[in-house]
Amino acid sequence: MFVFNEDLKSTQKKMAQAISRFQEELTRLRIGRAQSAFVEDVEVECYGSRMSLKEVASITTPDTRLIIVEPWDRALIKAIEKAILAANLGLNPSNDGQRLRIVLPPMTTERRQELAKRIGDLAEETRIILRNLRKEFLERAHKAEKAGEISKDNSFRLQKEIDSIMEKFNTEIEESARNKERELLTI
């Protein structure tokens, strides 16, 4: 049975989650300014299991081109160094026995163009997810209308509501992508 208010809220929640993931991906893009997000989710093999770096070390960014990773257990420093290298982030940590220092290389024009393209790709992937969620919702509404569960007027109203939600989320995607590209180009 199609319960349009709950179905609309559920679809809107899924769309908001897609936007959230998009914005998380944008923060992970390395645009020349050091951020702990670049390395905090790197998986480290320690104590017989895999843990994220943020669970086994403190991560600080004292300036715009330096990330310092200080493990809580000094015995893990080699495992952390190995994990960062294996993550293929283009980062090369230097180990002083106490902590890892990761100096970010300056951004080249070519790298900035690659990142700008990646931002556009991420935005388009998110738009596709939103369109698919909209399509699924409208299909359920159309089936409910054919089955007589909702009226034609309610079906039309739901279509207008989902379209306005889509417009709001698409605007949010565009703003986030534009802001990230501006940040990328002004560094």
* Cα-Cα end-to-end distance for the chain: 53
φ, ψ for residue 19, nearest 5 deg: -65, -40
Distance CA 115, CA 75 (A): 36
The string of pLDDT tens digits covering residues 68-105 is 999 988 888 898 888 888 887 777 888 888 888 988 87
pLDDT of residue 154: 85
**Bigger pLDDT: 38 or 120?**
120
pLDDT of residue 103: 86
Tokens of 31: 């645009």
User: What is the secondary structure of the chain as a DSSP string?
Assistant: ---HHHHHHHHHHHHHHHHHHHHHHHHHS--SS--GGGTTT-EEEETTEEEEHHHHEEEEEEETTEEEEEESSGGGHHHHHHHHHHTTSS--EEE-SS-EEEEPPPPPHHHHHHHHHHHHHHHHHHHHHHHHHHHHHHHHHHHHHHTTSS-HHHHHHHHHHHHHHHHHHHHHHHHHHHHHHHHHHT-
Tokens of 100: 């890892």
The structural domains of the chain, with segments of one domain joined by +, span 4-28+108-185, 36-103
CATH number at 4-28+108-185: 1.10.132.20
CB 103 within 8 A of CB 91: no
User: pLDDT-based confidence at 139, cuts 50/70/90?
Assistant: very high
Q: Fold for domain 36-103?
A: Gyrase A; domain 2 (3.30.1360)
With a threshold of 0.75, does the pTM exceed it?
A: no
Tokens of 164: 């306005």
Distance CA 127, CA 18 (A): 9
Nearest 10 degrees: Cα torsion 12, 17, 19, 25:
-170
User: pLDDT-based confidence at 184, cuts 50/70/90?
Assistant: confident
Q: What integer best gives the mean pLDDT of the chain?
A: 86
**Bigger pLDDT: 175 or 112?**
175
The string of pLDDT tens digits covering residues 11-20 is 999 999 999 9
